């Protein structure tokens, strides 16, 4: 079992996360290169429907964060040093899923 050296601190609404590699990543600067959204094609269709519903009557979109959440897009943070991915980094610490590069390039298929 791998123990993640993960610690989170909530300052106002910002999150600071210490990556397993030792680098500290946060969402203090916005926009930034740490925060990503993982969007399935199904979630993208839901997002388009939500935007169409709001944009039709009002002519504008005011609910971007809510629409992303409602569509099913998933928050993913990427460590710029080791490229580990933290899925749901703002959730409860026990619910954060961490991915690490296993391999670059496909294995020889022959």
> Which stretches of the chain bind Zn ion, using CB under 5 A?
19, 21, 23, 79, 81-82, 84
Nearer to Zn ion, 26 or 47 (CB): 26
- Smallest distance from Zn ion to CB 54, Å: 37
- Smallest distance from Zn ion to CB 105, Å: 21
Write b or e for each residue in 20-45: b if 16 or more Cβ atoms lie within 10 A of its Cβ, otherwise e: beeeebbbeeeeeebbeeeeeeebee
- Smallest distance from Zn ion to CB 97, Å: 15
Nearer to Zn ion, 67 or 84 (CB): 84
Spatial contact of 66 and 59, defined as CB atoms under 8 Å apart = no
Nearer to Zn ion, 80 or 91 (CB): 80
Nearer to Zn ion, 19 or 73 (CB): 19
Taking alpha carbons only, the member of 28, 38, 22 closest to residue 76 is 38
Q: In the structure encoding, which two tokens stand for residue 57, read together? A: 């009557």
User: In DSSP terms, which residues pair with 17 in a beta bridge?
Assistant: 8, 25
- Smallest distance from Zn ion to CB 18, Å: 9
């Amino acid at each position: 079992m791998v123990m993640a050296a993960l610690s989170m601190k909530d300052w106002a609404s910002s999150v600071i996360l210490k990556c397993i590699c030792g680098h500290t990543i946060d969402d203090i600067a916005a926009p930034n290169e740490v925060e990503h959204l993982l969007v399935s094609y199904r979630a993208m269709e839901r997002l388009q429907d939500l935007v169409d519903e709001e944009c039709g009557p009002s002519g504008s979109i005011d609910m971007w964060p809510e629409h992303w959440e409602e569509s099913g897009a998933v928050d993913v943070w990427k460590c710029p040093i080791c490229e580990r991915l933290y899925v749901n980094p703002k959730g409860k610490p026990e619910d954060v899923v961490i991915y690490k590069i296993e391999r670059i390039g496909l294995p020889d298929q022959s």
